[in-house]
Amino acid sequence: MSPIAIGIHGGCGTPDRALLPEHDWTQTRAHLADALRSAWDVLAGGGSALDAVESAVAVLEDSPHFNAGHGAALTEAGDHELDASIMDGATTEAGAICAVRRIRNPIRAARAVMERSDCLLIAGDAADRFARQAGLAIVDNGYFTTERRRQALASLKARARRGTIAAASEAERHGTVGAVALDSRGNLAAGTSTGGFNNKPPGRVGDTPIIGAGTYARNGVCAVSCTGQGEIFIRHAVAHDVWARMRYAGETLKQATDAQVFDVLSAYKIGAGLVAVDAAGRVVAPFNTLGMARGWIGPDGAMHVATHKEVERVSVLERA
């Protein structure tokens, strides 16, 4: 039986455990587990890596605990602009949307761009119109807002007035969600979704919708979804470089991802993380911050979730 695997992340901007009530952490881990189960059900039933990735990311987009979809970051204007991308490792086809304001699940729109248009990336109002015409769920922009994001925006604006913006924590600034999967036919896929960073200028686009920067998948090697300061990820084509290190330099998945997170990206003094899976179903989720919401199910069916250093083994799931 061919291996299957799923890995997810909820962004490297995880705050100190003491800053949120334990109920919030419990619910965050529960929503990670929900995303993993939704993807595993797809894979265990013989479904595609693309379907599994889309399913997992959509669950995270619907949760208020992550910076994507409902719970997305606010721009400096106090509203939301969201980005997402998805890539099929079997064909290297991909789709992406950026700076959208009305699409409930941006990951579904990214896939629709890949499968129902001649484009790879559609931006702004045009992407919102495309999603509506494709029959996807459309919501008011205020749907994405949560009290936690309002507080984060107020905190950053106050820091800006005091001239202490550089001291802002990763939790105040950034956040992303993503998923990678390997299906029973050996196909890989990756997807990423974000609200960007808190207090970002309207129109700013980071690495999430840029194929090769925030998202990359190619059969036989790996699938990658990234989180962190997108401008640096774009400059270093981080997701693609993980693939290139493995393909051309013969590095293992762990070697390639550790080199990016702990060497290349850490040199810029930025928070960074990613989740990746290789062709054998090995999943890694390195990060250089206080924490990173994450989870995975390997070929053995064991589900693990975490928000900080400690990892919880939740259960063992069966294949159909």
**Residues with catalytic roles:** 176
Place of tokens 């001649």: 118
Query: Residue 243 and residue 290: Cα distance in Å, rounded?
Result: 26
Give the whole-angstrom CA distance, residue 254 versus residue 196: 27
46: which residues sit within 8 A by CB, 6+ positions away? 183, 184, 320
- Supply the DSSP symbol for 208: T
Torsion angle in degrees (nearest 10) through CA of 168, 107, 212, 116: -150
Residue 133 tokens read as 């015409």
Coil, helix or strand at residue 232? helix
Main-chain phi, psi angles of 134, to 5 degrees = -80, -5
Percent helix, strand, coil in the chain (nearest 5)? 40, 25, 40
Q: For residue 104, how many other CB atoms are within 10 A of its CB?
A: 19
Residues paired with 228 in a beta bridge = 272
| Locus of tokens 């900080």 | 308
